[in-house]
Amino acid sequence: MRSRLLNILFWSIISAAFIGPGTITTASSAGANFHLQLLWALLFSTFACFLLQEAAARVSIVSGLNLGQAIAQSFEGKSSRWLILILVVGAIIFGSAAYQTGNILGALVGIQLVFDISAKILVLIIGLVVVLVLSIPSLRIVARLMGFLVVFMGLVFLTTAVFVAQNLSSQEILSGLIIPKIPYESGADLLVLGLIGTTVVPYNLFLGSGVSDKTHQLREMRLGLAVAIFLGGIISMAVLIVGTAIQGEFSFNALAGALTSQLGGWAVYLFGFGMFAAGFSSAITAPLASAITAQSLFGNQNPEKWQRNSTNFRLVWLFVLVVGLGFGMSDVKPVPAIILAQALNGLVLPFVSIFLVFVINNPQLMNKEGLNKRRNNIQMGIVVWITLNLGFFNVLKAVYKTIGLGVPSENYWWFVIGAVATLVSIIVWVRVYKMRQKLISV
């Protein structure tokens, strides 16, 4: 029993990594603006998170390689190898830089709810402390402290959600959970993509693969991941339900007010410190995960150039940190910036997932037990197809707005995008099938 609890605690690093300012902002905004209509997106993304994180961890346990190393080895000797590696690491680094903006702004907002301190001074202090922490060899003490504060804040949201849910009918909650629909109101589709991007974090796939190894058992890994991720999903849903109690337009002050009205005046202090803890801990995780991803993809050929104290390693995390600090200093409005960061990572997700599909179906890396079964491939195919649809549509909307054409006709473009996403999915799965057949027969 004790070993199982420790195993669940170990894998809670994944849920702790995705419950940050982005989750709180995006989920509570969804609740405030669209009530329970987008609850299904969190249910879908929780299952998708488990599916993809399990596959990424399985790669490391079975092959002994982390996800980055496995991608690099899968395309060894191919002319497109370097292009693929650069695209993957570029997507992760820029996605992490977008997250870092939300992390810095989230930490900033949290502390300003409690103390009246200049934003620019706070951003500089946060940046300096993050640099100091990333420069030391061990992050365990900081990670445990921040993780405890974030979990404590999660319990506050769960408690508040119970009070708020008393004013909601079970039929409303069930309908929001199981009936997928995107309201026609502006911003709904961006929020759906944001809810997926804030739960299934692309760099977490590399983080989860990086912390697992051959000493872990597949069965124990699956149990630990399942409990940790589904608890994280429940907390995210609780945040959305709390968001429904906000009167008027969403803001952090309005969210703090909703907590205060249910739990008392002390809740604003807990929320402020918890939001700071979530942002600050994620402000350490995002640049570190980016550097680890780059190290895993490019470090095999020149290991000495990608050590923790190497210039290359430090330049990667420094770039991500500087981007976040830059936006934090520029008086960017935190709520739209954080939601946009989650949506950008929702765009990166299908791209990274496709490479995970190739790796998890590679017989040279995975033994018979580790290879994806037909059921797993069908489930991963659905996740990739849905995220491709949402990603393509948001890119199309951005193009339309950029050239001044307003919003595209949704029914027509959903049909076209669905056809394109289906075509891309077919091409990917045909190539995966051919690869499996070719390598199995060798």
Q: What is the largest CA-CA distance in the chain?
A: 68
Scan for tokens 């491709």, then name that residue: 388
Residue-range domain boundaries for the chain: 2-347
Least confident of 148-162, 182-196, 286-300: 148-162
Tens of pLDDT, residues 327-373: 888 877 777 777 777 777 777 888 888 989 999 998 888 877 788 88
Q: DSSP class of residue 258?
A: H
Mean pLDDT of 300-314: 80
**C-alpha to C-alpha distance for 203 and 286, rounded to whole angstroms:** 8
Those residues with Cβ within 8 angstroms of residue 291's Cβ, 6 or more apart along the chain or in another chain: 313, 314, 316, 317, 320
Residue 144, pLDDT above cutoff 70: no
Rounded distance between C-alpha atoms, residue 380 and residue 161, angstroms: 31
Closest Cα to residue 46, out of 295, 235, 280, 287?
A: 235
Q: Which band of pLDDT confidence, cut at 50, 70 and 90, is reported for residue 398?
A: low
CA distances in angstroms from 292 to 12, 207, 289, 381, 398, listed in the order given: 19, 8, 5, 27, 31
Dihedral over alpha carbons 331, 116, 144, 22 (to 10 degrees): -30
Q: Are 19 and 239 contacting, i.e. CB atoms less than 8 angstroms apart?
A: no
pLDDT of 382 strictly over 90: yes
Residue 211: predicted pLDDT = 66
**Contact in structure between 305 and 294 (CB atoms under 8 Å):** no
| CATH label, 2-347, candidates 3.50.50.60, 2.102.10.10, 1.20.1740.10, 1.20.120.140 | 1.20.1740.10
pLDDT of 417 higher than 60: yes
Q: Which two tokens stand for residue 164?
A: 């708020």
Q: Please report where in the chains the tokens 């739990």 appear, as a residue.
A: 263
Give me the pLDDT at residue 158, please. 81
Give tens-digit pLDDT for 38-61: 999 999 999 999 999 999 989 988
Give the span between the Cα atoms of 306 and 255, in whole angstroms: 43
Q: What is the pLDDT of residue 12?
A: 61
Better pLDDT: 342 or 261: 261
Do 344 and 197 contact (CB within 8 A), yes or no?
yes
What pLDDT does 17 receive? 62
